[in-house]
A and B are shown apart, each in its own frame.
Chain A
Amino acid sequence: MGNELLAVRSLRAAAEDKEILKGLDLTIAPGEIHVIMGPNGAGKSTLAAVLMGSPKYTVTDGTILFRGKDLLEQPVSQRAKNGLFLSFQNPVEVPGISMENFIRSALDQRSEDKVRPWVFHKEVQRVLKALDMDESYAERDLNVGFSGGEKKKAEILQLLLLKPTLAILDETDSGLDVDAVQTVSRGIEEFRKDKDAALLIITHNAAILSALHVDRVHVLVDGHIAAEGGPELIGEIERSGFAAYEGDQA
């Protein structure tokens, strides 16, 4: 205790009447990289959504402390202001508001000081460049007409500009071409320049993990953590899949 960034205890959550998370524990310290792997339908994305506060899910039991405060009591926007970030699997298209203006409004709401548009504009340009993304992203309507890969890159852009303390990447690397995977990796690298920046990576494949120093791997099966271990677990799962852990369930 004491040095925990995130502490999830006995978390149970349901969508409508169907229980999806069935007593889940997870602890992340500042600066750590955690990976969640698991078969489809195990509840990985549900965990991400519940942490962020999606109205689609009801938490029925358990506690979540984030930076020492009860996360479940906070509205979604407060969770974000306190340093939580979710990179969405399917980012929503919002017409009529540009990416740059949107991120600036989000930052504006965080502190008393107004973000200076010109200073911010330069910062956006810098990050776009670091991610090897086209300048036009800043002016385009938020995610509107973006391809799947562009949306994921745009999530990483937001991550770098909002500078959270814990970023949850919900399958940010899935379905991307090599180029986009590189952008995402470069983004994570940039994000990790802050030593206290922690990551919770939900993924199906090990490609983006190879360059990272993973602290802990959690295998999520049927709504709870079925196994935990160091980065060696990633290789194991790549070789043998989840059958062994699912077997435990029966």
Chain B
Amino acid sequence: MNKEKTNVADVDRSFYDFRYADDSWKVKSGLTPEIVAQISEEKHDPDWMREFRLKSLEIFERTEMPDWGPSIEGLDMDNIVTYVRPNAERMNTRWEDVPTDIKDTFRRLGIPQAEREGLAGVGAQYDSELVYHNIRKEVAELGVVYTDIESALHGEYGDMIREHFMKLVPPTDHKFAALHGAVWSGGSFVYVPPHVKVEIPLQSYFRLNAPGAGQFEHTLIIVDEGADLHFIEGCSAPKYNVANLHAGCVELFVGRNARLRYSTIENWSKNMYNLNTKRAKVEEGGRIEWVSGSFGSHVSYLYPMSVLDGEGARSEFTGVTFAGAGQNLDTGCKVLHNAPNTSSYVNTRSISKDGGASTFRSAVVITPRAKGSKAAVSCQSLMIDDISRSDTIPAMDVRTSEANVGHEARIGRISDDAVFYLMSRGISEEEARALIVSGFAENVSKELPLEYAVEMNNLIRIEMKGAIG
């Protein structure tokens, strides 16, 4: 049974630090303008971006660490530069160095070896590179731009990026947004022209695999008037990174009567601090749909936000969070109703086991202009055992009497009656519990493309087996 374990129970620094052993490279404490300028140079940033980075660094330096959520003391901020500039030696991670639990998970998810290496950041892209190019070609014929953000900065969309980049999530938002602004690297840029419906989901999975990439990636998606897109970020395979901080940023612009679905299944390695910021702005009659599965990381702060800025704009958030041993996942969402007749629906499930802590945190704000708006928040928690934790912190700030808001929260356990019932049909106890948990998370799995739903259920099964093994 031991082989089935996938969790690193505790964050054992030595376990992850082994490759630092023969590291002769001395680390300067903290980021300096020189280092940021050098990053900017290496990336051939336009001047405005270089200035943006330096300005962000200033903001980073004067901004306090967040003190209201799970502890991030294990994050070594003095060595932040090592996250930003992993030296060549360390980048050169070997497959043998990838933790066994992650290799096992790859194997049981049925991911081919080449992709495993890519996902673990120890190999280049193989087949997926080809798939990515084919998809690009296909959508390009529709006029859709789907590219990495660095090269887009220099092309004909440079001005568009400049107009939108970190306008929704400004570096002043919080300390890690500022850090992101200073050192961001990699990510996707998507532009869907007016009235174009993209039939196939675009998947960032195909282009994340450069070694060490994905720590500070920036995703910028603009869906123009009446257009339609589904974008999928990540996959359920564990993402292994050398450094243990992820401070990405996602900015989504949804035009009039446009629709964007943004799906994420995230399974960072269990030493990761996932301090990610995602935000969408929705114009009149537009619609943002978030589908979010959080499985990995040691600590997460993740609250995708929808800014409903035009009349009749809508937001739907469907999420599941699974916190196992050694994990403290603080997730949820925010909605700002800032126009009349906007509506939002939040439907989340959280699962905690083996002492894991899962907190649902939401904030719904209805401004005085948002008359006739509706907001409904529903969160359910499932605790697998007595040592796990589940909290719900929903906040509602309603500034008009002409709004309709509702909230419901439930915390439950797996009932012995249900386990007995399923077992009486010949299903093992382990499988019965996994089935119940998968069923509980069905709000998310039914919204995912089939192959992702299958992967997510496999992942739940693996996590649940860890509980009994």
Contact = CB atoms under 8 A, between A and B. Distances in A.
A77 B429 contact: yes
27 contacts: A54-B420, A55-B420, A76-B423, A76-B424, A77-B423, A77-B424, A77-B425, A77-B427, A77-B432, A80-B424, A80-B427, A81-B426, A88-B421, A94-B436, A96-B439, A96-B440, A96-B442, A97-B439, A97-B442, A102-B425, A103-B425, A105-B435, A106-B422, A106-B427, A109-B428, A142-B439, A162-B426
B427 A92 contact: no
Interface stretch (B222-230, B286-294, B411-419): B411-419
B441 interface: yes
A225 interface: no
Given A75-B429, A105-B435, A95 B440 contact: yes
A52 B425 CA distance: 10
A81 B423 CA distance: 10
Contacts, number: 82
B438 interface: yes
A47 to B, nearest CB: 15
Nearest to A106: B425
Interface in B383-430: 415-418, 420-429
Contacts of B424: 52-53, 76-77, 79-80, 85-86, 88
Contacts of A162: 425-426
Interface in A89-116: 91-92, 94-97, 102-103, 105-107, 109-110
B426 A77 contact: yes
Interface string A14-56: 0000000000000000000000000000000000000011111
Contacts of B436: 94
Interface of A: 52-56, 75-77, 79-81, 85-86, 88, 91-92, 94-97, 102-103, 105-107, 109-110, 141-142, 158, 162
B58 interface: no
A91 B424 CA distance: 11
Majority DSSP secondary structure for residues of B touching A: helix
A53 B441 CA distance: 28
Given A96-B442, A141-B439, A77 B428 contact: yes
Nearest to B418: A92
B51 interface: no
A73 to B, nearest CB: 15
Interface string B169-180: 000000000000
Contacts of A53: 420, 423-424
Contacts of A81: 426
Given A92-B418, A96-B440, A102-B435, A75 B426 contact: no
B12 to A, nearest CB: 35
Contacts of B439: 94-97, 141-142
B431 interface: yes
A80 B416 contact: no
Contacts of B423: 53, 75-77, 80
A95 B442 contact: yes
Contacts of B429: 75-77
Nearest to A158: B425
Given A76-B420, A97-B435, A97-B438, A92 B415 contact: yes
Interface in B84-112: none
Majority DSSP secondary structure for residues of A touching B: mixed
B427 A105 contact: yes
Contacts of B417: 92
Contacts of B431: 105, 109
Contacts of A77: 423-429, 432
A96 B441 contact: yes
Contacts of A96: 438-442, 445
Given A77-B425, A142-B439, 10 more contacts: A75-B428, A75-B429, A79-B424, A92-B421, A94-B422, A95-B440, A97-B442, A103-B425, A105-B435, A106-B425
Contacts of B435: 94, 97, 102, 105
A95 B380 CA distance: 13
Nearest to B422: A94
Contacts of B426: 77, 80-81, 106-107, 109-110, 162
B267 to A, nearest CB: 20
Contacts of A76: 420, 423-424, 429
Residue among A92, A105, A141 having the largest count of chain B Cβ atoms under 10 Å: A92
A102 B434 CA distance: 12
Residue among B432, B435, B438, B442 having the largest count of chain A Cβ atoms under 10 Å: B435
Contacts of A102: 422, 425, 435
A91 B421 contact: yes
Contacts of A80: 423-427
A106 B424 CA distance: 9
A54 B422 CA distance: 12
Contact of A109 (B427, B441, B445): B427
Interface string B21-47: 000000000000000000000000000
A103 B435 CA distance: 12
Contacts of B420: 52-55, 76, 92
A104 to B, nearest CB: 11
Residue among B432, B439, B441 having the largest count of chain A Cβ atoms under 10 Å: B439
Contacts of A95: 439-440, 442
A26 B428 CA distance: 28
A81 B427 CA distance: 9
Q: 5 tightest A-B contacts by CB?
A: A96-B439, A96-B442, A80-B426, A76-B423, A106-B425
Nearest to A82: B426
Nearest to B425: A106
Residue among B425, B431, B439, B442 having the largest count of chain A Cβ atoms under 10 Å: B425
Interface in B134-152: none
B318 to A, nearest CB: 13
Contacts of A107: 426
